[in-house]
Amino acid sequence: MAGVVIIGGGQAGFQTALSLRAEGFQESITLIGEEPHLPYQRPPLSKGMLLGKQQERHAILRPEDFYTAQRIDLITGQRVTSIDRDRRKVLLASGGEVPYETLVLATGARNRPLPVEGACYLRTLGEAAELKQRISAAQNITVIGGGFIGLEVAAAARTMGKAVTVVELAPRLMARVVAPVVSEHFLQQHVAQGVEILLNTQLADLSADLIVVGVGVLPNDELARDAGLPTSNGITVDAHLRTPDPHIFAIGDCAEYPNPFAGGRIRLESVQNAVDQAVSVARTITGNPAPYESAPWFWTDQFDIRLQTAGISHGFDQVVTRGDPESRKFSVFYYRAGALCAIDSINRPAEHLTARKIIAARASMTPEQAADESFDLKTAVN
């Protein structure tokens, strides 16, 4: 009997299968992953694995016998070539077909490529293993891209004693997601650790033993587009994460959905979003639908600095700093049209937990209250 087929063996696909069983779904579940590995999580790839603090097994979400016990038919190392919506089947590169009643597209994203010969990228488990080896063998490393991944790789390489240069086209680091005060703080911390930062810099002749490219990703939406489903910045879905085809959902890094915290449609690349969207879709499939409205949150670790973000800061027009950046422990509150829309916490994990509650509750807080450290943030959600 055709049940649920999930395309994508990453965090979103794995969590969908897990949540379906948790919600009491008894029909067949097939999880198809293009990579040869068991489903795994990505955060360790640019953090613990590069530094040797974690091994490949630490990234694996569950051992193989888990899928047998949960009656999840796991197909790895197989690429889905097309979706036959009329017959409700997905076609595999091997020539096989898998029927579905409901299809969940959790196809993720891929690295945005640059025309740099011999460059390394970091997105998959295989790429992480290769990058670790190449960093170990190199002395001079250039990282193209001053976003989360680029800076995490730079921090890991510098911690390993390598000479590291970061090349960023924008005038500041992580410009797409943080305020200037946060960009400047991370710039100072990287420079203090010996990383050379080149801002406002175009690609030029790069002299390095190893070049790592981290300039963002592109959504894997080709299967949906070729099947006649709408795509924009990813696969277009509604508030229930459903495509115009009532039998097909899309979640995670590949899906563009209406986000109430962003004030419009958005595609998010985060573990939280992948997990929460998977839970939401599982509930919809099992007869408990609700619009997906989880508050987004993200994090990055660089050296001994942890930045944790709650909310979406896009379009902010006012920023308030709480605490002293010189202490290396502070928070930044973002306002959009007078309303609090996001909170960055740098080395303030407890404050981040409160920030997530504040953003989720869409609580109001004046800029003056946000800046005043004597003001108890918890009162905003009590």
* Residue among 128, 153, 135, 113 at smallest CA distance from 37: 128
Q: Which two tokens stand for residue 280?
A: 């939401």
- Characterize 296-322 residue by residue with b for buried, 16 or more Cβ atoms within 10 angstroms of its Cβ, and e for exposed: bbbbbbbbebebbbbbbbbebeebbbb
Domains of the chain and any CATH numbers:
4-110+217-285 (3.50.50.60), 113-213 (3.50.50.60), 304-380 (3.30.390.30)
In angstroms, what CA-CA distances link 313 with 33, 176, 333, 338, 360? 33, 9, 9, 13, 14
Q: What does the alpha-carbon distance between residue 343 and residue 338 come to, in Å, rounded to a whole number?
A: 14
Neighbouring C-alpha atoms within 13 Å toward the C-beta of 210? 21
Does 303 score more than 80 pLDDT? Answer: yes
Q: What is the model's pLDDT at position 207?
A: 81
pLDDT per residue as tens digits for the range 199-257:
999 876 778 999 999 999 999 999 999 999 999 999 999 999 999 999 999 999 999 99
Q: What is the model's pLDDT at position 1?
A: 53
In angstroms, what CA-CA distances link 365 with 76, 180, 226, 262? 48, 22, 46, 18
Sole residue written with tokens 């894997």: 220
Q: What does the alpha-carbon distance between residue 27 and residue 340 come to, in Å, rounded to a whole number?
A: 43
DSSP class of residue 120 equals B
Q: What is the model's pLDDT at position 268?
A: 97
Least confident of 8-17, 143-152, 164-173, 200-209: 200-209
DSSP class of residue 57 equals H
pLDDT per residue as tens digits for the range 287-301:
999 999 999 999 999
**pLDDT level of residue 52 (50, 70, 90 thresholds):** confident
DSSP symbols for 160-204: TT-EEEEE-SSSSTTTTTS-HHHHHHHHHHHHHTT-EEE-S----
- Cα dihedral angle (185, 186, 188, 190), rounded to 10 degrees? 170
